[in-house]
Chain A
Amino acid sequence: MSKKFRWANIYLWFVFILLYLPIFFLIVYSFNSGSVMQGWSGFSLKHYNELFSDTRILEILVNTFLIALLSSLLASIIGTGGALYIYNLKHTLSKNVFLSLNNILLVSPDVIIGASFLILFTVMGFALGFTSVLLSHIAFSIPIVVLMVLPRLQEMNQSLVAAAKDLGANNWQMLSRVILPVISPGILAGFFMAFTYSLDDFAVTFFVTGNGFTTLSVEVYSRARQGVSLEINALSALMFMVSLLLVLAYYVISTRAVRSKKRGTRLVLPATEGL
C-alpha cells in the first residue's frame, strides 16, 4: 500500500514538473547575462533594462491592458444585462434558446471567430485597429459574463425582489439596491475571467488587428518567428507575476463569495438599511 502510494506521488511530481518546467525555464533565463536560452553566463538584469527602455513593447503593453480593461468592463455590463434578461424569461424553451445562442461563441474555435469577425468588419467597412480588436474582445467575453452571473441570479432569494417592489422601489432602485449587490460576486468573477481571456487571446486578435495595432500576444508571435530574444523572457516573467496576482485576486473573490453564501442574505443588509 505505502509503496504504491509512493509511485503515485512520483507520478504526480512528474506531471507537475512537466507543467511548470517551461515556465520556470523562461523566467530563469530572463536573468541570464547571455543572449540565448542555453548555457548560463551569469546573473544580470540587463534584459529587464532592455525591456523597460523598449518603448514599442511598453506601448503594446499599455494597449493590451487597455483593451483587456475596457473590453471586460463593457462585457460585464452587457453580459449582466443579458443574464438578467434570460433569468426573467418565463418560458423554459425561450430560456434554453437564449442559453444555446449565448454559448455559440464559447464553443466556436478561435480561428472561426477571428475569420468571421474579419469578414464582418470588412463588409461593414470598418477599419481594422484598436476599435475592431476592442469590439471583438467584448464580443467573445460577453457569454462568459452571462455564464458567471446566471447562477448567482438563480440562487437569489426571490422574495427580496418582491419585498422591494412592495415597499415601492422603482426599477432602478430594485436593480441597484437589491439585485446588483446580491449578484456582484458573479459579476466580479465574470469581469476577471473576461480580463484574462482578453489578455490571453491570440487567434482572434491576430485576425482583426490589421497593420498598425498590436497586442502582446501578436507581438510575441512575430518576435518568436524571428528567433529567441531574452527580452521576451523578461516580459514573460513579469506576465507570470501578473497572472499570479490575478489568480490570487480571483481566488480571494470566489472564496469570499462562498463564505457570504453561507451567511445567506447578509450581503444585502446594508442596502436595505439604506432604504
Chain B
Amino acid sequence: MMPKSKKQRQLFYVVPYSIWLILFVFAPLVLLLFQSLTTSNGDFTLHNYAVYFASGTYLKMTFNSVWYAFLITLITLLISYPTAYLLNQLKQKQFWLLLVILPTWINLLLKTYAFVGLLSKTGTVNNFIGLLGIAPQQLLFSDWSFLLVAAYIEIPFMILPIFNSLAEINPRLEQASHDLGANKWQTLRRVILPLSMPGIKAGIQAVFIPSLSLFMITRLIGGNRVITLGTAIEEHFLVTQNWRLGSTIGVILIVAMVIIMILTRDRVRKSSRKRG
C-alpha cells in the first residue's frame, strides 16, 4: 500500500506527462491508422491499401525508396567504419569525436543549402572541374547528388554508435589475438568486427529509417527525381491533399520501420540518435 503523500506526488508528476502521452503519442498514431482505414464518410474500408498494392507506381516508388536508403546506409557505413576505427586510436579521441558531432548541431537546411551552391551548374565544383578542362555538368538534381548529400548528412550518426562500441572493446583482446598469431586483418575480421556489431546495427538503424523518410533533400538536391516514402507522404498531405492515401503510405513506412528495428535489434539496447 502506497502512502498517501507518495500517491499525491505520483499523481502530480504523471498528469501532464500522461496528457502528452495520450494526446501526442496515442492519438496521432490512432488517427493516422484511422485515416488509412476509412472512407470520407467514416466507414471502414481497405480501399486505400488496395489502391496502394494494386498500383505499380506506388510499389515501384517503395522499392526505389528502400533501395536508395540501402545505398545511403552502405555508403555511410563504408566511410564511417574506418573513420570510427581510426578515431579510436587517437590520443584526444573525445575531442575529435566532438568535432564529428559538431556538424549535426548545424541546421540541416543550411547544410543542404550549401550543397545547392556547391553543385549548381555555375557552382564551385563545376568551376573546379572546369579548370581541368571538363565542361560544366548537371550535378544538381541527379541521383548521385542525392546520395552524396544524404550520406553527408547521415555520416556522424553512423560514426557515433560504431565509435562507442569500438571504445568498449577491451584492448587486451586485440593483444591476445595478436599473441595467438593472428595478423592485423584477421584480428579485425575475427575479433574487432564481431565485437563492434552492436554499434554497426545501431548505426544502420539510425541511418536507414531517416533515409526512407527524407523529403526535403529529394526536393532541393534530387529535384524530384528520387521519390522516397517521405516525399510521397508529404506530397499527399500538403500538395494533393489526399490524406487517406498519405496515411496509408505512412502506415507502410511505420511497418517498414518496425521491420528494420526488429532486424537490427540487439540484446543490449542502448543508443539513441539525434534526429535529423
Question: Is the beta-carbon distance between B215 and A203 smaller than 8 angstroms?
Answer: yes
Candidate in B6, B250, B276 with the most chain A CB atoms within 10 angstroms: B250
Report yes or no: B220 in contact with A221, Cβ–Cβ below 8 A. Answer: yes
- In the bound complex, do residue A246 and residue B105 qualify as a contact, i.e. CB atoms below 8 Å apart? yes
The residues in A between 230 and 271 inclusive whose CB is less than 8 angstroms from any CB of B are 232-233, 235-236, 239-240, 243-244, 246-247, 251
User: Which of A26, A29, A109, A239 has the largest number of chain B CB atoms within 10 A?
Assistant: A109
A74 to chain B, nearest CB (A): 9
Q: Does A58 contact B (CB under 8 A)?
A: no
Q: Is A66 an interface residue (CB 8 A)?
A: no
- Which residues of A are interface residues toward B (Cβ below 8 A)? 8, 11-12, 15-16, 18-20, 22-23, 25-26, 29, 36-39, 77-79, 81-82, 84-85, 88, 101, 103-113, 115-120, 123, 135, 138-140, 142, 147, 170-171, 175, 193, 196-197, 199-203, 206-207, 216-217, 220-221, 224-225, 227-228, 232-233, 235-236, 239-240, 243-244, 246-247, 251
A-B contact pairs, 30 of them (CB 8 A): A12-B96, A18-B152, A19-B99, A19-B156, A22-B111, A25-B117, A37-B117, A81-B13, A82-B13, A82-B20, A85-B17, A104-B29, A111-B234, A111-B253, A112-B32, A112-B233, A116-B28, A118-B237, A119-B28, A119-B247, A138-B20, A199-B107, A202-B107, A224-B109, A225-B219, A228-B120, A232-B110, A239-B106, A243-B102, A247-B98
Interface size grouping (class) on chain B: 35 or more
**Interchain nearest-CB distance for A139 vs B (Å):** 4
Chain B binding surface, main DSSP class: helix
- Do A111 and B230 touch (CB < 8 A)? yes
Closest to B17 in A: A82
Contacting pair B155 A19 (CB below 8 A): yes
Give 8 A-B pairs besides A106-B275, A107-B209 with Cβ atoms closer than 8 angstroms: A78-B20, A82-B13, A82-B14, A109-B253, A113-B28, A115-B234, A116-B28, A199-B107
